[in-house]
Amino acid sequence: KTWKDAMRGVHSELPEVTKSIVNHVQTSLARAPYNLDDLGAYQAAALSVRDNLIVNWNSTQLHYTRKAPKRAYYLSLEFLMGRTLSNALLNLGLQPTYSTSLSNLGFALEDVLVQERDAALGNGGLGRLAACYLDSSATQELPLWGYGLRYKYGIFQQLINEHDGSQLEAPDPWLEHQNPWELPRLDVTYEIRFYGSADRWGDGSGRAVWSGGQEVLAVAYDVMIPGYGTKNTNNLRLWESKPKRGFDLQSFNAGDYERAVETSNSAAAITSVLYPNDHTVFGKELRLKQQYFWTAASLADMMRRFKNLEKPISEFAEYNAIQLNDTHPTMAIVELMRILVDEEEVPWDQAWTIVTNTFFFTNHTVLPEALEKWPVPLMTHLLPRHMQLIFDINMLFLQSVEKQFPGDRERLARMSLIEEGFPQSIRMANLAVIGSKKVNGVAELHSDLVKRNLFPDFVEFYGQSKFANVTNGITPRRWLDQCNPALSELITTTLNLPREVWLKDLFKLEGLLKHVDDAKFQQRWAAVKRQNKERLSNFVEKTLGITVDADAMFDVQVKRLHEYKRQTLNILGVIHRYTTLKSMTPAERKKVVKKAVFFAGKAAPGYYIAKLTIRLIVNVARVINEDPDTKDYLTLFFLPDYSVSLAELLIPASDISQHISTAGTEASGTSNMKFCLNGGLLVGTVDGANIEIAEEVGEDNVFFFGHLTPDVEPLRYQHTYHPIPVEEKSPALAAVLNTVSSGIFGADGIYEPLLNTVRQGDFYILTDDFDSYIKALEMVDEAYADRTEWIKKSIRTSAKMGKFSSDRAIQDYAQEYWNIESTKLVEE
Ligand code: 26Y
């Protein structure tokens, strides 16, 4: 068919959409419709869908302005959005129309969708959570905006070195082809100051004047966030940095060309790249610049919007709630104080009341190496006025602590915003706690640990009620309907409900329970899983050139590489399975459950042990997949460049997934929820949201192992003071470690530093958990052998995932924290 034939369609909506696509091909892309490739078709379709979004987005923003409800703002340095076209089509209800239109033009929707590059402006869990929360707040018609940075380069691309199996990093130029999902707002700009000097008025008001230094321009780019089954379309505003003037004319005229462009380069550098480390802070000046640039631009923007309401400044907190996604945006607290005190001339105490009624703080990790601390000299140099404000806030705060706990010097030292040392540093978590109305963790256990281990003094000072829990959630739109259309279809027909209903009220999945024993339904459920496993197999064959047996049990661990997440435990377990298989007779092997193990995940570029773990996995895979004795029973894959899109392929295909962090270290985890929603069973430790998942689905439907949180500290203590050799604690593990040392996965002792983390300090207690881990995997094998029972477990798991919808989580924030209400866009 030619595009001209397509234009003569009969369906009333179709010619409209087809026309719009063809129109974009000809005008926006300036290409001819008849020799278009998939990429061109994607771009034209995206631009056509974007036209719809813009209309809704505009009406929504106008509606919010007119209604002037209280608004919430989600400040996050990371938004891990993934692809947009398929999500926009789903949310607009235009999937069938575009599918037909594209096919009339000679394109398959699924080939077109994969042309889109992921928007990967995040590292992992924290960034993807932000993306799920945007989807849920738009869907629930809540007046919420996200604020972030428009990095020119997102999370790096991961390549695997063919020669030695190690991770290589390449830039992620995601904006190379223009991005149809953003609207540049070149008229929305703010000037952001750095350096200079701060002079106090000295009149006892606490006010000061900040001047001089460097000014950088913040330019707004708006990303449209459509809700599902509503016209409400929210906004994610991302800031780009730009020099205030093209270049420094003075230096240019003086003939110093290099210096002339230097300042303009340093301005553009602020939003050039996402920092690729999670959980380890480095105290780099550019990172602090990013944090201030973003919070200052966002607050200036909120302040401008608030001023348009013509309300007294004292009512700021009645119209604005700001959620801090971890400590990264904590400078917003100080910046709002600066605006109120220095610019709005609000008396100090009144300003502090406004601030502490506006902010809310979520903590995402208890690992000490992830807690942000900025050196005082760096802050003084870069943001002199803010350093003064922090000292003043601290002094007044410590006075109030002293009043409640007179003479307790050590308590004051612990609670101070300033940590003594050379140099002194600023504890951003303490600042976030005292500047916020409420503080929350992201799963029940984690929120307990936040109170008990991170902020016990603050709980004593403020009382329990300031500290609470909001268990994380995931959007069922992307993480079920979009990534697993076959399962979504089966659920819809089985529940006998329109998908619009259960996708907005995930507790409805419980209706599947009464079909658990229906053999027909079980078969269909199993067929969907099988189909998804084949889809993944095809992908692996295409990308790695290795065939995967879709009859095997698919065992998946995908997440950032980190010692606390214990990918090492998993790979040592795989080696154990391999050597066990090797020691068997061919007849014995035939009785073993076939298994395909998948890993994916990026390591921070400077994280040596994590990178070494990847190298071990890749090289173990090379040996195992070639071994004629075992390769029919065990295969192993490291899929490079883990991303949201790869997750969408992997998650629906899993039979089991592993969430095996040392107890007490994983705040929540969110992929655990995604796997279970898609009917994959969970192998895990008693940690994070695993616990709540087990509470929902029942302990007989998960495979728990390992020591509990209270055991971990004493075990570490024992490792330090009464080290017991690995051989004594776990002969099986000792044997595996020796196998690696023997050099069959690479000689010259390259893995010794990794093995030594286990043999020596063993901070993450692999030796203490190894045997029970292997036991748990044996239980998995046993359970998997009974196919019907396994399918029932899978159905039961999926059916009980209602709690983990991000709709529930965002409602909790809206009601218990922000006090905002749904504001539905009404047609005029
Ligand atoms: C300060 C900097 C080094 C830093 C950058 C990123 C520190 C931390 C992070 C990211 C943390 C993160 O992704 N945390 C994860 O948040 C998820 C959502 O709450 C949790 O599910 C997950 O357990 C937690 O590790």
Using the atom order of ligand 1, give the atom closest to the CA of residue 124: 13
Confidence of residue 5 (pLDDT cuts 50, 70, 90): low
Q: What is the mean pLDDT of the chain?
A: 96
- Ligand 1 centroid – CA 98 distance (Å): 37
Range 775-786 average pLDDT = 98
pLDDT per residue over 151-172, tens digit each? 999 999 999 999 999 999 999 9
- Ligand 1 centroid – CA 745 distance (Å): 32
The two tokens of residue 85 are 């076209």
What is the layout of strands, in order, in the sheet containing 681-685? 634-638, 595-600, 553-558, 656-659, 681-685, 702-705
pLDDT greater than 80 at residue 256:
no
Range 356-374 average pLDDT = 97
Supply the ipTM of this predicted assembly. 0.98
Using the atom order of ligand 1, give the atom closest to the CA of residue 280: 3
Confidence of residue 828 (pLDDT cuts 50, 70, 90): low
The answer to whether the CB of 281 is under 6 A from ligand 1 is yes
pLDDT greater than 70 at residue 648:
yes
What single-letter amino acid sits at 126?
L
Alpha carbon 771 to its chain's center: 32
Range 91-104 average pLDDT = 95
pLDDT greater than 60 at residue 9:
no
pLDDT per residue over 406-430, tens digit each? 999 999 999 999 999 999 999 999 9
Range 85-99 average pLDDT = 96
The answer to whether the CB of 668 is under 6 A from ligand 1 is yes
Residue among 78, 132, 151, 364 to mutate when testing ligand 1 (max atoms within 8 A of CB): 364
Report the pLDDT value the prediction gives residue 259, as an integer from 0 to 100: 73
Using the atom order of ligand 1, give the atom closest to the CA of residue 442: 19
pLDDT per residue over 19-46, tens digit each? 999 999 999 999 988 889 999 999 999 9
pLDDT greater than 60 at residue 10:
no
Confidence of residue 811 (pLDDT cuts 50, 70, 90): very high
> Where are the extended beta strands (E) located within 257-394?
320-325, 359-362, 373-375
Using the atom order of ligand 1, give the atom closest to the CA of residue 275: 5
- Give the residue carrying structure tokens 């700021």: 316
pLDDT greater than 80 at residue 12:
no
- Ligand 1 centroid – CA 616 distance (Å): 25
Report the pLDDT value the prediction gives residue 6, as an integer from 0 to 100: 61
Report the pLDDT value the prediction gives residue 111, as an integer from 0 to 100: 97
The answer to whether the CB of 365 is under 6 A from ligand 1 is yes
Q: Name which of 656, 446, 445 is nearest 558 in CA terms.
A: 656
- Ligand 1 centroid – CA 684 distance (Å): 19
pTM to 2 decimal places: 0.97
Domain ranges of the chain: 68-83+118-472+812-818, 476-804
pLDDT greater than 60 at residue 579:
yes
Query: Is residue 540 within 8 Å of residue 524, measured between CB atoms?
Result: no
Q: What percent of the chain has pLDDT over 70?
A: 97
pLDDT greater than 90 at residue 11:
no
Report the pLDDT value the prediction gives residue 372, as an integer from 0 to 100: 98
The answer to whether the CB of 667 is under 6 A from ligand 1 is yes
The answer to whether the CB of 273 is under 6 A from ligand 1 is no
Confidence of residue 770 (pLDDT cuts 50, 70, 90): very high
| Collapsed DSSP state (helix, strand, coil) of residue 374 | strand
CATH H-level superfamily of 476-804: Glycogen Phosphorylase B; (3.40.50.2000)
Residue among 279, 444, 566, 642 to mutate when testing ligand 1 (max atoms within 8 A of CB): 279
Tell me whether domains 68-83+118-472+812-818 and 476-804 share a fold.
yes
Residue 430, exposed/middle/buried by CB under 10 A (0-12, 13-18, 19+)?
Answer: buried
Report the pLDDT value the prediction gives residue 262, as an integer from 0 to 100: 75
The answer to whether the CB of 435 is under 6 A from ligand 1 is no
pLDDT greater than 80 at residue 253:
no
The answer to whether the CB of 373 is under 6 A from ligand 1 is no
- Ligand 1 centroid – CA 476 distance (Å): 21
Report the pLDDT value the prediction gives residue 306, as an integer from 0 to 100: 98
- Ligand 1 centroid – CA 124 distance (Å): 7
Q: Which residues are catalytic?
A: 364, 559-560, 565, 670, 674
pLDDT greater than 90 at residue 814:
yes
Query: Is residue 825 within 8 Å of residue 141, measured between CB atoms?
Result: yes
Q: Which residues, 6+ apart, have CB-to-CB distance to 732 below 8 Å?
A: 576, 770, 771, 774
Q: Whose CA is nearest to atom 12 of ligand 1?
A: 126
Range 435-443 average pLDDT = 98
Cis-peptide into 33, omega within 30 deg: no
- Ligand 1 centroid – CA 360 distance (Å): 17
pLDDT greater than 90 at residue 13:
no
pLDDT greater than 60 at residue 487:
yes
Phi/psi class of residue 670: alpha, beta or left (left: φ > 0; alpha: ψ in -120 to 50)? alpha
Confidence of residue 264 (pLDDT cuts 50, 70, 90): confident
The answer to whether the CB of 129 is under 6 A from ligand 1 is yes
Report the pLDDT value the prediction gives residue 8, as an integer from 0 to 100: 59
Report the pLDDT value the prediction gives residue 70, as an integer from 0 to 100: 98
- Ligand 1 centroid – CA 367 distance (Å): 10
The answer to whether the CB of 82 is under 6 A from ligand 1 is no
The answer to whether the CB of 687 is under 6 A from ligand 1 is no
Report the pLDDT value the prediction gives residue 301, as an integer from 0 to 100: 98
CA distances from 166 to 426, 460, 614, 746 (A): 37, 48, 7, 12
Residue among 80, 288, 365 to mutate when testing ligand 1 (max atoms within 8 A of CB): 365
Query: Is residue 299 within 8 Å of residue 359, measured between CB atoms?
Result: no
Classify 68-83+118-472+812-818 by CATH class: alpha beta
Q: Name which of 824, 827, 828 is nearest 234 in CA terms.
A: 824
Report the pLDDT value the prediction gives residue 377, as an integer from 0 to 100: 98
